A and B are shown apart, each in its own frame.
Chain A
Amino acid sequence: DAGITQSPRHKVTETGTPVTLRCHQTENHRYMYWYRQDPGHGLRLIHYSYGVKDTDKGEVSDGYSVSRSKTEDFLLTLESATSSQTSVYFCAISVGGYRTEAFFGQGTRLTVV
């Protein structure tokens, strides 16, 4: 699976608690993305990174923050989880430039109760 590992794969958490999801790559790709997938909405971009410490917002960034302190790790934090953040979260990586085909992780199923 293109050297991408998401952890945890499943998580149940309570409303109001902080949650951090981790995406780890072994491909040394420049770009990393976090998406959420919900029925009827397809995949929506939360945040992405175009280099170490270089990040930008996506379509649905409210309530989420990210950090990338080294090439291989991209962390997504839900500062105070809400039920509306129950979703499947996917991390993706790409080389960038004109070869922007992305490789996806297996996803993290997060349930906020």
Chain B
Amino acid sequence: SQQGEEDPQALSIQEGENATMNCSYKTSINNLQWYRQNSGRGLVHLILIRSNEREKHSGRLRVTLDTSKKSSSLLITASRAADTASYFCATDYRIKAAGNKLTFGGGTRVLVKP
């Protein structure tokens, strides 16, 4: 089963509103990452938060990480129509001798209405 699971599966908001999505995972991690995917395209990396960090900001993005609850949240503030996309969390964990394994959740589809 997948390491990360996002919630909600879909989100519809008006332009200017904030969008929040959550990610839960199962095992200990090195870091957690968020990616965006526009329809029919490859994923684009947004932000990475290490396991010893609790919050990180990048532009209009704010990510939190709670390792005790094995969960993370992504907040997009003042959303724009161009933020319409699917958002995925990805967990990175190290496997002895086999390097880093990067696994993704099912994603949250965000629709920002103008």
Contacts and interface: CB of A to CB of B under 8 A. Distances in A.
Contacts of A70: none
A44 B2 contact: yes
Interface residues of A, number: 32
Interface string B4-41: 00100000000000000000000000110101000011
Interface in A18-55: 30-31, 33, 35, 40-45, 48, 50-51, 54
A106 B30 contact: no
A96 B95 CA distance: 12
B82 to A, nearest CB: 19
A58 to B, nearest CB: 7
Given A101-B48, A104-B44, A31 B99 contact: yes
Interface residues of B, number: 29
Contacts of A41: 2, 106
Interface in A84-113: 90, 92, 94, 96-98, 100-107
Interface in B24-65: 30-31, 33, 35, 40-45, 48, 50
Interface in B61-114: 88, 90, 92, 95, 98-107
Nearest to A43: B104
A104 B42 contact: yes
A100 B43 contact: no
Given A56-B98, A97-B100, A42 B107 contact: yes
A48 B101 contact: yes
Given A42-B2, A50-B99, A1 B42 contact: yes
Q: Closest 9 interchain pairs by CB? A: A50-B99, A104-B42, A42-B106, A43-B104, A101-B45, A56-B98, A104-B43, A100-B92, A42-B107
Interface of B: 1-2, 6, 30-31, 33, 35, 40-45, 48, 50, 88, 90, 92, 95, 98-107
Given A40-B106, A102-B45, 4 more contacts: A42-B88, A42-B105, A51-B99, A102-B102
